[in-house]
């Protein structure tokens, strides 16, 4: 049995949390490889170390003095080192970081140092070997992960070691510079390490006991999700469920390695298991509800649209030319709706409308703004009749006007568009009908 364990920023925010993490690792001898994040918030209005580092980079890029910022960041790490009673110093590391940022300000380098330094402390505290991720994780010329080279080098390195600490969030670009994943990318690093060493389980430790059926900011004490499939996770993560980075499944999915989301502050909780497939029946018809506000629906109408070859391509070309990605695209016989992010679209709306008319020659183009999208996701929906009817009945009783419906052929999810102001009410209504009353 071999496990890779990744710990988030809140799990490593201070010395007290470090001690919890060490207890968790030592409690299971199969937890062999550790992926740490940078220190997160210690309390409500605290600042994450990564944000402090990015602010330092921004000053350096303007040619301003960064010494005080560097000292503030160093104080965070010194506090952890002192609290752990370690005979260890990062003084030289901070000298080198300050010199590098003054000489050659680089945002990815600055942002990555949080994980790098936390990894060095973690390795010292556990007595494990420290591996700089820049030496084992590689990106290609386009900025994507070079999976072949990464797996080869990382596997060879890990095969030599019983235990190791590999910092999350960054690797090496094609030109030899430090390159980071998107924020939350330590989840991806953990997945890469799990795939490379053929782990039996990838444990992702955070400050919640797994995924919840709905956002706890909207639903009081929502039910937890025991088991999620990779596909369900993708749908929920894309629509805003942020417990795990949505790209973290790819390195483990091909190997069938399950992910277990666990709570550092409640290690006895089972958490959520994320798997390729399962024969276990879900507790509820739906697995989860997630959503986002701030979309626009661009309704394009043209008589006999369905018989015009290439019409859809022409409409989408107008968005492509303006650098706008579309989210969903429900359509009818004579209508086609393109749902886009409102903040990105509004500054370019008239140019896009003009381009649609030039390319596709529609009868009309209408724009609806302030739209929220809600995804109702669940593998149980495929074997349960009347799911859509129950959703719309619940929304009707809650007096929520449905402005858009989009359901994929897999029957894994239903996307519902409502007004921004109706978002919370709609989520509560759907949660109530499927979880509270289960009517």
**Domain at 404, CATH number:** 3.30.2130.10
Statement to judge: residues 304 and 432 lie in one domain:
yes
pLDDT in tens, 229-280: 988 988 888 787 778 887 888 899 888 999 999 999 999 999 999 999 888 8
Statement to judge: residues 191 and 64 lie in one domain:
yes
- Judge whether 110 and 101 are in contact, CB under 8 Å: yes
pLDDT band at 406 (very low <50, low <70, confident <90, very high): confident
Residue 439 has pLDDT above 60, yes or no: no
Q: Which CATH number characterizes residue 115's domain?
A: 3.40.1160.10
pLDDT averaged over every residue in the chain: 94
Cα separation, 374 vs 58, in Å, equals: 36
Residue-level pLDDT at 125: 98
Residue 37 has pLDDT above 70, yes or no: yes
> Which of 50-59, 127-136, 411-420 is predicted with the least confidence, judged by mean pLDDT?
411-420
Q: Which of 154, 179, 207 is the last residue of a domain?
A: 207
pLDDT in tens, 117-176: 999 999 999 999 999 999 999 999 999 999 999 999 999 999 999 999 999 999 999 999
How many other C-beta atoms can be found within 10 angstroms of the C-beta atom of residue 392?
A: 16
Statement to judge: residues 44 and 184 lie in one domain:
yes
Task: Name every residue whose Cβ is closer than 8 Å to that of residue 154 and which is 6 or more positions away in sequence.
Answer: 136, 137, 192, 193, 196, 197
Letter string b/e over residues 316-343, b meaning 16 or more CB atoms within 10 A of that residue's CB: bebbeebebebbbebbeeebbbbbbebe
Statement to judge: residues 309 and 201 lie in one domain:
no
Whether residue 199 lies inside any domain: the answer is yes
pLDDT in tens, 102-120: 999 999 999 999 999 999 9
Residue-level pLDDT at 29: 96
Cα separation, 252 vs 48, in Å, equals: 28
Statement to judge: residues 177 and 46 lie in one domain:
yes
Whether residue 360 lies inside any domain: the answer is yes
Statement to judge: residues 167 and 41 lie in one domain:
yes
Q: What is the pTM of this model?
A: 0.87
Q: Which of 207, 225, 249 is the last residue of a domain?
A: 207
DSSP 433: I
pLDDT band at 408 (very low <50, low <70, confident <90, very high): low
The residue among 120, 122, 111, 121 whose CA lies nearest residue 52 is 111
Residue-level pLDDT at 409: 61
Whether residue 269 lies inside any domain: the answer is no
Q: Which structural domain, as residue segments, surrounds residue 327? A: 288-436
Statement to judge: residues 325 and 195 lie in one domain:
no
Whether residue 314 lies inside any domain: the answer is yes
Chain-centre distance of CA 105, in angstroms?
A: 27
Residue-level pLDDT at 438: 64
* Residue labelled with tokens 């007290």: 16
Residue-level pLDDT at 234: 85
Statement to judge: residues 26 and 120 lie in one domain:
yes
Residue-level pLDDT at 99: 97
Q: Which of 207, 241, 258 is the last residue of a domain?
A: 207
Statement to judge: residues 164 and 305 lie in one domain:
no
229 phi, psi to nearest 5 deg: -90, 160
Number of structural domains in the chain? 2
Statement to judge: residues 39 and 139 lie in one domain:
yes
- Judge whether 210 and 263 are in contact, CB under 8 Å: yes
Cα separation, 239 vs 342, in Å, equals: 15
Whether residue 84 lies inside any domain: the answer is yes
Whether residue 366 lies inside any domain: the answer is yes
pLDDT in tens, 284-313: 889 999 999 999 999 999 999 988 999 999
pLDDT in tens, 323-345: 999 988 988 889 999 999 999 99
Ramachandran bin of 210, using left for φ above 0, alpha for ψ from -120 to 50, beta for the remaining angles: left
Residue-level pLDDT at 117: 98
Whether residue 272 lies inside any domain: the answer is no
Whether residue 19 lies inside any domain: the answer is yes
246 phi, psi to nearest 5 deg: -65, -20
**Tokens describing residue 86:** 């370690």
């Amino acid at each position: 049995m071999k496990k890779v364990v990744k710990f988030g920023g809140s799990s490593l925010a201070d010395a007290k949390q470090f001690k919890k993490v060490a207890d968790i690792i030592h409690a299971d001898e199969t937890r062999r490889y550790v992926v740490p994040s940078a220190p997160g918030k210690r309390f409500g209005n605290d600042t994450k170390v990564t944000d402090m580092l990015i602010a330092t980079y921004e000053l350096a890029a303007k040619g301003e003095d960064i010494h005080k910022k560097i000292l503030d960041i160093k104080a965070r790490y010194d506090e952890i080192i002192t609290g752990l009673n370690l005979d260890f110093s990062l003084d030289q590391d901070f000298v080198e970081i300050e010199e590098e940022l003054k000489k050659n300000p680089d945002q990815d380098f600055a942002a990555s140092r949080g994980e790098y330094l936390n990894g060095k402390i973690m390795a010292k505290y556990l007595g494990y070997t420290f591996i700089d991720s820049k030496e084992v994780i590689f990106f290609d010329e386009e900025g994507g992960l070079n999976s072949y080279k990464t797996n080869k080098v990382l596997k060879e390195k890990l095969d030599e070691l019983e235990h190791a600490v590999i910092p999350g969030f960054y690797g090496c670009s094609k030109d030899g510079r430090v390159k980071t994943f998107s924020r939350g990318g330590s989840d991806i690093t953990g997945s890469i390490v799990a795939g490379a060493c053929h782990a039996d389980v990838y444990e992702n430790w955070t400050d919640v006991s797994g995924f919840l059926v709905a956002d706890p900011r909207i639903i009081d004490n929502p039910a937890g999700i025991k088991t999620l499939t990779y596909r369900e996770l993708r749908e929920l993560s894309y629509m805003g469920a942020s417990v795990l980075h949505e790209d973290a499944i790819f390195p483990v999915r091909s190997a069938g390695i399950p992910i277990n989301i666990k709570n550092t502050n409640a290690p006895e909780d089972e958490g959520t298991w994320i798997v390729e497939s399962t024969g276990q029946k879900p507790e509820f018809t739906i697995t989860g509800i997630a959503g986002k506000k701030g979309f626009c629906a661009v309704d394009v109408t043209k008589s006999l649209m369905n018989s015009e070859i290439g019409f859809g391509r022409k409409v989408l070309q107008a968005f492509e030319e303006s650098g706008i990605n579309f989210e969903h695209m429900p359509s009818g016989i004579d209508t086609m709706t393109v749902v886009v992010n409102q903040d990105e679209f509004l500054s370019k709306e008239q140019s896009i409308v003009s381009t649609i008319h030039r390319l596709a020659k529609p009868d009309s183009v209408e724009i609806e703004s302030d739209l929220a999208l809600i995804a109702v996701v669940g593998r149980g929906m495929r074997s349960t009749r009347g799911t859509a009817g129950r959703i719309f009945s619940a929304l009707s009783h809650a007096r929520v006007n449905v402005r858009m419906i989009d359901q994929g052929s897999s029957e894994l999810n239903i996307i519902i568009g409502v007004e921004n102001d109706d978002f919370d009410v709609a989520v509560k209504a759907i949660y109530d009908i499927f979880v509270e009353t289960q009517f």
